[in-house]
């Protein structure tokens, strides 16, 4: 199996962390593939018409995407039923937490494109302000309503921990730790897991 994409993408890192957590770290080849929102990457386009990273290529040459599906695919291949629990109540709590972490990542990546990639002068201030409000609402919700769930190791906790790492890396000015000590403690502890250490972002 191959996973294409750069670990700076929180979506890519979530899948590689998942591969390590389910014991497939040695079976998954991680290949760095750069993408630009304004250009087609021919190699990726052959596996996915959407062309966003991550994409997993199976041993049979099929493309599996997006990150949520890849995380589930890896759990399935490994026979792991703890990262996505079977039990209905736990399952949908974990999957909703994963959606919250990935929704936050969507906002953070889009904000980064707007600020760092979009040509100067074309930024949309109202959208940027709404996006910061959305990200702060997500941080507040994680602080107040998800601490019980964040105590486990599953796709929800992975999505949140990786996204917070991305926010630190790209959007440090957001100061998400301020007034959110429980979320900060969660991130500090989760970042010590070997899966997170092996995929840690290095400043370029
Ligand atoms: N919903 C997708 C989002 C993936 C995504 O947004 N990837 C970004 C990098 S972080 C990308 O490939 N951007 C290139 C583009 O927009 O063309 C997932 O969960 O995998």
pLDDT at residue 34, as a whole number? 85
Verify that 93 and 176 share a domain, yes or no. Answer: yes
Ligand 1 centroid, distance to 121 Cα (angstroms): 24
Q: What percent of the chain has pLDDT over 70?
A: 100
Residues 101, 13 share a domain? no
Calculate the alpha carbon distances from 33 to 62, 73, 80, 188 in Å: 17, 20, 28, 29
Q: Do 74 and 96 fall within a single domain? A: no
What's the whole-number mean pLDDT along residues 37-62?
96
Residue that finishes a domain, picked among 78, 113, 145: 78
Structural domain contains residue 203:
no
User: In this structure, are 74 and 92 located in the same domain?
Assistant: no
Mean pLDDT of 17-42: 95
Judge if 74 and 139 occupy the same domain.
Answer: no
Domain edge (last residue) among 78, 107, 132: 78
Let me know whether 114 and 184 are in one domain: yes
Q: Which residues have C-beta atoms less than 6 Å from ligand 1?
A: 9, 11, 35, 37, 51-54, 66-68, 102, 109
Asked if 72 and 130 touch (Cβ cutoff 8 Å), the reply is no
Q: How far is the CA of 55 from the centre of ligand 1 (A)?
A: 10
Q: Tokens 């109202």 map to which residue? A: 126
Q: Global pTM?
A: 0.97
Which residue's CA is the nearest one to ligand 1's atom 11? 52
Cα 127 to ligand 1 centre (Å): 19
Cα–Cα distance for residue pair 183/179, rounded to 1 Å: 9
Q: What pLDDT was estimated at residue 203?
A: 77
The model's pLDDT over 50-95, given as tens digits with 9 standing for 90+, comes to 999 999 999 999 999 999 999 999 999 999 999 999 998 999 999 9
What is the average per-residue pLDDT within 22-32? 97
Give the integer Cα–Cα distance in Å for 175 and 131: 15
Q: Which of 26, 52, 78 is the last residue of a domain?
A: 78
Hey, is 64 helix, strand or coil?
A: strand
For ligand 1, atom 15, the nearest C-alpha belongs to 37
Could you give the CA distance from residue 34 to residue 9 in angstroms, rounded to a whole number? 10
Residues 17 and 105 in one domain: no
Range of the domain at 163: 88-193
pLDDT at position 202: 87
Q: Give the per-residue pLDDT at 9.
A: 97
Q: 69 and 92 in one domain?
A: no
62 and 145 share a domain? Answer: no
Whether residue 180 contacts residue 143, with contact meaning beta carbons closer than 8 Å, is answered with yes
CA angle 68, 118, 17 (to 5 degrees): 25
Tell which residue, 18, 7, 5, has the closest CA to residue 157. Answer: 18
- pLDDT for the residue numbered 196: 98
Domains contained in the chain, number: 2
Rounded CA-CA distance 156/97 in Å is 5
Task: Tell me how far the alpha carbon of residue 12 lies from the centroid of ligand 1, in angstroms.
Answer: 9
Which region, left, alpha or beta, applies to residue 117 given φ > 0 means left and ψ of -120 to 50 means alpha? alpha
Let me know if residue 204 belongs to a domain: no
Cα 8 to averaged position of ligand 1 atoms, centre (Å): 11
Q: What is the whole-number distance in angstroms between the Cα of residue 49 and the centre of ligand 1? A: 12
Are 2 and 29 in contact, with CB atoms under 8 Å apart?
A: yes
**Is residue 9 in some structural domain?**
yes
Percent of the chain with pLDDT over 90: 97
For the four alpha carbons of 47, 40, 199 and 105, in that order, the dihedral sign comes to negative
Examine residue 55 and state whether it is found in any structural domain, yes or no.
Answer: yes
Residue 154 has, within 13 A of its CA and on its CB side, a CA count of 22
pLDDT at 158: 99
179 token code pair: 């007034």
State which ligand 1 atom lies nearest to the alpha carbon of 53: 12
Tens digit of each residue's pLDDT (9 = 90 or more) over 131-170:
999 999 999 999 999 999 999 999 999 999 999 999 999 9
Q: Which atom of ligand 1 is nearest to 52's Cα?
A: 12
* Residue 62 confidence (pLDDT): 97
For residue 103, the domain's CATH number is: 1.20.1050.10
Task: Tell me 117's DSSP state.
Answer: I
- Please report the atom of ligand 1 found closest to the CA of residue 9: 10
Residue 204 pLDDT greater than 90, yes or no = no
Q: Is residue 83 part of a domain?
A: no
Cα–Cα distance measured from residue 19 to residue 185, given in angstroms and rounded to the nearest whole number: 24
Residue nearest to atom 19 of ligand 1 (CA): 67
In a domain, 32, yes or no: yes
**pLDDT reported for residue 19:** 98
């Amino acid at each position: 199996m191959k996973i294409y994409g750069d670990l700076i993408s929180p979506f890519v890192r979530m899948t590689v962390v998942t591969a390590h957590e389910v014991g497939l770290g040695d079976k998954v080849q991680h290949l760095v593939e750069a993408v630009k929102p304004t250009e087609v990457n021919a190699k990726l386009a052959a596996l996915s018409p959407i062309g966003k990273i991550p994409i997993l290529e199976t041993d049979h040459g099929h493309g599996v995407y997006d990150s949520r599906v890849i995380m589930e695919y890896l759990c399935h291949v490994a026979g792991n039923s703890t990262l996505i629990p079977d039990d209905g109540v736990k399952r949908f709590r974990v999957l909703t937490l994963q959606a919250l972490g990935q929704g936050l990542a969507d906002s953070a990546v889009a904000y980064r494109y707007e600020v760092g990639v979009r040509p100067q002068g074309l930024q949309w201030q109202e959208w940027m302000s709404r996006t910061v409000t959305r990200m702060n609402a997500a941080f507040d919700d994680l602080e107040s309503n998800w601490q019980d769930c964040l105590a486990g190791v599953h796709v929800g906790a992975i999505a949140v921990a990786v996204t917070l790492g991305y926010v630190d890396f790209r959007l440090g000015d957001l100061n998400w730790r301020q007034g959110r000590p429980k979320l900060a403690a969660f991130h500090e502890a989760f970042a010590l897991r070997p899966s997170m250490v092996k995929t840690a972002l290095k400043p370029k």
